[in-house]
Structure 1
Amino acid sequence: MIKSAGISVSLLTMCLLVGDVHAAQAYRVVKSCKPADLSVHFDNGQGEFDGMSHSGAWVVLSNHSATRCAVPALPVVRLEDTQAHVLATGKPAQPAPNQQPDQTILKPHAQWRASMYWVSGNVYDGGQCVSPNRVVLKFPLGDVHVNFPARTLCGPAQTPLTFEQGQLQPVPR
Structure 2
Amino acid sequence: MPSIELKRVTSQCLGVLLFAALSLLAASASASAQTAPCQPKQLALSLDDGGGDFNGMSHGGTYVVLRNRSGRACRIPARPELSLLDADGQTLPASLQATPGMHPGPVLLPVVIPVHGSVKASLRWVTGEVFDDTQCIDAASLRVSIGDGALTAPLRAHLCGPRVQGPQYQFVPFQPKRPPTK
Partner of 2:81: 76
CA distance in 2, matches of 1:65, 1:107: 9
Q: Answer yes or no: is the 8 Å Cα contact 1:71–1:104 preserved in 2.
A: yes
Q: 3-state DSSP class of the match of 1:166? A: strand
Q: Answer yes or no: is the 8 Å Cα contact 1:92–1:165 preserved in 2.
A: no
- Could you list the runs of 5+ residues in structure 2 that have no partner in the other structure? 1-26
Q: Does 1:144 align with 2:117?
A: no
RMSD of aligned alpha carbons: 2.4
Q: Deviations over 1:28-50 (max 9, x none)?
A: 82111111111111111121211
94 and 65 in structure 1: CA distance in 2 versus 1, 3 angstrom threshold? farther
CA distance in 2, matches of 1:139, 1:89: 18
CA distance in 2, matches of 1:118, 1:53: 9
- Deviation at residue 159 of structure 1 after TM alignment: 2.5
Query: What does 1:95-110 correspond to in 2, within 5 Å?
Result: 100-110=107-117
Q: Deviations over 1:51-91 (max 9, x none)?
A: 21011110111110110111001111111112422332333
**TM-score normalised by length of structure 2:** 0.71
Residue 56 of structure 1, aligned match among 27, 39, 61: 61
65 and 95 in structure 1: CA distance in 2 versus 1, 3 angstrom threshold? farther
CA distance in 1, matches of 2:100, 2:34: 28
Partner of 1:43: 48
- Could you list the runs of 5+ residues in structure 1 that have no partner in the other structure? 1-21
Larger Rg: 1
**TM-score normalised by length of structure 1:** 0.74
